[in-house]
Amino acid sequence: MTVFTTVTTKNAVVPAAVARAAAPAGQRLTPGAAARELELRRGEFELAVQLGHIRTVPDPGGGQRRVTAREVARLRAAADFPECLRERVRTVGTGEGADLLGIAPGRFTKLARTGRLTPVRCYLNRYRAVVWLYLADELVELALREPESLSGRHPAPDDGQDWRARNWRGRRIAMLARQTDDQWEQAAAVASALDSAHLAEIVRDPYERACLRRLQPETFRIHPESAIAQAIVDRVLLADEPDEIEWYRLRLVEALADARDQCPAPRPIGDPAGERGVPAGVGPTAKRSAVVGAEPPAPRPLGRTGPRTAAPAARPAGPERIRRKPTPQEGGAPVERSLLRRLRRGK
């Protein structure tokens, strides 16, 4: 890995010339190495890439996208590096954002609920509440663009509708689509906003649905995982309004057309339906057994003693299941144990 040497003076850092000389233009760094060279945390680096502040290139081996050494040198050549890059990806919550704008947290929340502020990230706290994060730069832009919204009467609510999740979904999918040139990955980003019912209705081919599920982008993780927390995450991830659902359905149809033109979805070898598609109503299991030629499993061979006998009847529940020690009159006492007892007495 190329090591960038920085020359530090009293109040300035001069890394550009050394970086260009130390790193070949065609070298590509992994995300972790590029984040270290740019003096960014991993989350800050990922957000900078999603926002387009750091340009990436595809990996020839098909792995994660990489950053060229020339791009790293360009960013390090800024006069106020790395503070300028960190400030671009600085995120704040409701409390810190309200302090930044000089308003009460209640007014800040209403500005976000009415759609004047668009979250850039979110996560679940330990109380299973959704915490929204905003770009500090966008808050400053709002204060300069709409100073009247920071004072006077509170913004009127839009029939009680909360636009934070909807605006975040649109922004997230746009950022994901900007990171890749693969049409199937872009279609998977759009499909992540629709539930399984809408997805199955639009994508009839089970192999295409499997491809979209495999390429589905990772969301924020849940710690610890639970059904209640997953339900909260689904309400944030999935479109819920009819007009929003219809918009994503149309987007998915267009994205699928572009993906199919680029290349077909992966299929099992010898699948004749790769060209004509899968007829409606045929599920993945039936398709796999009918097309791929899977035969039902052969019956188990019989044992050497002949056919297997019927399984014994289940034991009845209740007191009848308690075993009673047999008496000698019933022939239940073992002969060996009685003989041993007599020999011990005689001895």
pLDDT tens per residue across span 133-156: 999 999 999 999 999 888 877 766
In this prediction, what percent of the chain has a pLDDT beyond 70?
A: 67
The answer to whether residue 71 is domain-embedded is yes
- Residue 256's domain comprises 178-266
Pick the more confident residue, 25 or 92.
92
pLDDT at 205 over 90: yes
In this prediction, residue 340 carries a pLDDT of: 54
Identify the band that residue 33 occupies on the pLDDT scale cut at 50, 70 and 90.
Answer: very high
Which pLDDT belongs to residue 13? 37
Q: Are residues 95 and 84 in the same domain?
A: no
Domain count, the chain: 3
Q: Note whether residue 314 is domain-resident.
A: no
Alpha carbon distance 309, 306 (integer Å):
9
279 within domain boundaries: no
**What pLDDT, on the 0 to 100 scale, is given for residue 341?**
62
Query: Are 183 and 248 within one domain?
Result: yes
256 within domain boundaries: yes
Final residue belonging to a domain, choices 88, 109, 127: 88
Statement to judge: residues 218 and 184 lie in one domain: yes
Average pLDDT, the chain: 76
Considering only residues 153 and 16, tell me which one the structure prediction assigns the higher pLDDT: 153
Q: What distance, in Å, lies between the first and last C-alpha atoms of the chain?
A: 87
Write the pLDDT tens digit of every residue in 42-79. 999 999 999 999 999 888 877 788 999 999 999 999 88
Q: Is residue 333 part of a domain?
A: no
pTM: 0.68
Last residue of a domain, one of 266, 287, 309: 266
Report if residue 323 sits inside a domain: no
Q: Are residues 72 and 99 in the same domain?
A: no
Domain endpoint, select from 223, 242, 266 = 266
- Any domain includes 340: no
Give me the pLDDT at residue 234, please.
Answer: 87
Q: What is the pLDDT of residues 222-275, one digit of tens each?
A: 666 678 888 888 899 999 899 999 999 999 999 999 999 999 988 887 665 544
Q: Is the pLDDT of residue 12 over 70?
A: no
